Amino acid sequence: KEIQFRYDNANIKDHEINYYGEKVKQCHRALHDKTGAGNDFLGWVDYPLNYDREEFSRILNAAQKIEKTSDVFIVVGIGGSYAGAKAAIELLGHTFHNIVSKEKRTSPEIYFVGHNLSGTYYNHLMEVLKDKEISLCVISKSGTTTEPAIAFRLLRTYMEQRYGENGAAERIYAITDAKKGALRQLATEKGYETFVIPDDVGGRYSVLTAVGLLPIAVAGIDIKQIMEGAKDAYDLYGVDDLFQNPCYQYAVLRNILYGKGKEIEVLASYEPSLRYVAEWWKQLYGESEGKDGKGIFPASVEFSTDLHSMGQLLQDGRRNIFETVLTIESPREDIVIPEDEQNLDGLNFLAAKSLNQVNHHAFEGTMLAHTDGGVPNLVIGLPEANPYYFGKLIYFFEKACGMSGYLLGVNPFDQPGVEDYKRNMFALLGKPGYESLGKALNERLK
């Protein structure tokens, strides 16, 4: 079974796709020969084949140690340094991971921090941590990003007070650049165990490195299977023929629809466990393609929940949207609707049907309604939610993103626009070196 890509409800003619055949070959070469824009950041393409096996074993050992010694595992990171791990744990773990009984999850509670600047969030976190044994991993490629750096300072201080400096060092892991950055220096000085984010892998393409793998392994998920899936995806999506490669077809279809004025892509799913896969996907595509005045706006909805809110706009609002439905063909679990003699709710027509069957009809009915309403539908079908297909899906989306960015004519591996807010924030906070900008901004805010 493979990931399916279907576009029969997209209203696109064959010749529109054929036109892209040669261009896809060119972009494929640029990705594999590392000759295109951003070619310093193409390490993720071959990574499933040549990742560091020694480091991989250390990740497994660290995960075991954390599992044995901790009730809680804290992951500090933002953007590409956290979204992929959260996506995996939500998709493959228990729906109520942190509150279900320990037997059901066989791993520590996991909290993601360092992705916001909310005082309330951190005070509440500290309440949760009381009386629990903690381990922590701090993830930052640059080692200087403000949000995780602040969170790490808060939590490091807390852990050093509780465990002493050496005791805390036994429980803290750092994932960062091999040589550069404040975090690398701090980790060396404090004696933390460290893992590397390779130089040529950008944050949002790093989920298959230690960045994603350590937290995912701590959650008790089989990371060997994830890498197997990614390796098979490398072969499967490594062919340059558009007509044999569903991953490139997805990239092409998005560009065709964008060219027709469909500027918003809504990733829709029918399983709540896919919520963070969608968040990760938004980060990957938004940060990779939104530049030079171009880019599809990636949005997401969770059905059927959002059929009662965003469903109206999708069906009937401005026609600048296309929808990509991410389905799980065989969901992990199911439950049957019981017969009720009195039938006061009138639901006996559903008795003996399973919830997944009802959900599937909701999907089919919605897809046809939205297509009829002028929203082209693409479908990506994941055979099952397991570690192997998660690895495959990650690689599918990364490869499609690289291809899609090249087809659009942008560098999908940089993020120059992310710097602007930081500059203003530093200036307003009075960081040394930003004095005159600070003065000008404060003038404007008066």
Q: Which is nearer to ligand PA5, 28 or 184 (CB)?
A: 184
Please state the closest distance from residue 357 (CB atom) to ligand PA5, in A. 39
Q: How far is the CB of 424 from ligand PA5 (least distance, A)?
A: 16
Orientation angle between helical segments 43-50 and 387-408, nearest 10 degrees:
150
CA–CA dist 110, 16 (Å, integer): 46
CB closer to ligand PA5 out of 185 and 312: 185
Min dist CB 79 to ligand PA5, Å, is 3
CB of 204: closest distance to ligand PA5 in angstroms?
A: 3
Least distance to ligand PA5 from the beta carbon of 375, Å?
29
**What is the edge-to-edge ordering of all strands in the sheet holding 72-76?**
109-113, 72-76, 134-140, 172-176, 193-196
d(CA 223, CA 120): 34
Q: Which of 90, 265, 287, 289 is catalytic?
A: 287
Which of residues 214 and 321 has its CB atom nearest to ligand PA5 in the complex? 214
Q: What's the rounded Cα separation, in Å, for the pair 201 and 40?
A: 8
Identify which of residues 346 and 416 has a Cβ nearer to ligand PA5 in the complex: 416
For 260, counting Cβ atoms within 10 Å of its Cβ (0-12 exposed, 13-18 middle, 19+ buried), the class is middle
Which one from 1, 68, 353, 422 is the annotated catalytic residue?
Answer: 422
Least distance between ligand PA5 and beta carbon 41 (Å): 9
When the beta carbons of 38 and 93 are compared against ligand PA5, the nearer one is 38
Question: What sign does the CA torsion over 77, 410, 247, 271 have?
Answer: positive
Neighbours of 184 (CB within 10 A): 18
Residue 399 annotated as catalytic: no
What is the crossing angle of helices 83-92 and 210-218, to 10°? 30
Interface residues toward ligand PA5, by CB under 6 A? 78-81, 140-142, 145, 148, 202-204, 287, 415
Cβ distance to ligand PA5 smaller for residue 44 or 322: 44
**How large is the greatest C-alpha to C-alpha distance in the chain, in angstroms?**
76
Report in angstroms how near the CB of residue 141 gets to ligand PA5 at its nearest: 4
In the residue annotation, 133 being an active-site residue is answered as no
Of the pair 142, 371, the CB lying nearest ligand PA5 is at 142
Residue with tokens 């942190």: 98
Q: Judged by CB, which is closer to ligand PA5: 140, or 404?
A: 140
Distances in Å between the alpha carbon of 353 and those of 269, 337, 338, 339, 344? 21, 6, 8, 10, 18
Nearest approach in angstroms of CB 236 to ligand PA5 is 25
Distance of CA 268 to the CA centre of its chain: 15
Residue nearest to ligand PA5 (CB): 203
- Alpha-carbon distance 217 to 66, whole Å? 10
Q: Which residues are catalytic?
A: 287, 422
